[in-house]
Amino acid sequence: MQNWRQTAQEHKSWCSIFAPETFGADEIGTTLVQDSNELVGETIKTSLGELSDVEPKRNGKIIFEVTSVHGEDAKTELLQYEMPKSERNVVLSEYGSILSLNNIETLDGYSFDGNVIVRRPARWDMHMLQESIEHIVSESTMEDMLTSLVNGSFTTREHNRAVPEVEFESLVVSDRPNGPDPSPSLDRASETDPQFPHASD
């Protein structure tokens, strides 16, 4: 009689996990699964510096979440970004101000919370700066926000005024227009699976 564990193993297959297009669509992990749809909602930790097809300004820590599976390929979306503490301290000392963005919605229906570090000119007060940045985000897509994570900052104009340079210190997606809701827990990354890469602290 065949061992049940061997039978279960024979019914499993390898599934490749890919980063979003904005981050180069790298294969960021593989895992052995019995049903590939079980991967939806799982999270994978890595860093911008570990993605070979991007040249980030900051080596931020990121968490991707599997949102869909097609055959043996699993696609992910960003769930969380965090600037390393060492770089955060340098940027904060150069820029001088940090603002919190709470439940901000992008033009294409994504919502997120986060902190941004800004270089604040003397003529801007913090309330005006907060409103301007929130307005810019509301007229930008999530793709624009992700591109800014790779590039390190985003600058634009609002009401014919140049808004100061802004860098994301952290970003956590709280809602998506399509697909599964973001994971409520960031502790579900498959740390027991050696095939998943993880960013170092």
Measuring CA to CA, how many Å separate 198 from each of 32, 54, 145, 176? 17, 17, 23, 24
The domains located in the chain, with CATH, are 85-175 (3.30.479)
CA distance 147 to 97: 22
List the structure tokens of 64.
Answer: 């991707």
Q: What is the pLDDT of residues 136-157, one digit of tens each?
A: 888 888 888 888 887 777 665 5
Q: What is the pLDDT of residues 1-48, one digit of tens each?
A: 445 444 445 578 888 999 998 888 889 888 888 887 888 999 999 888
Place of tokens 């696609």: 75
Pure H helices in 11-141: 85-95, 126-138
pTM of the model: 0.77
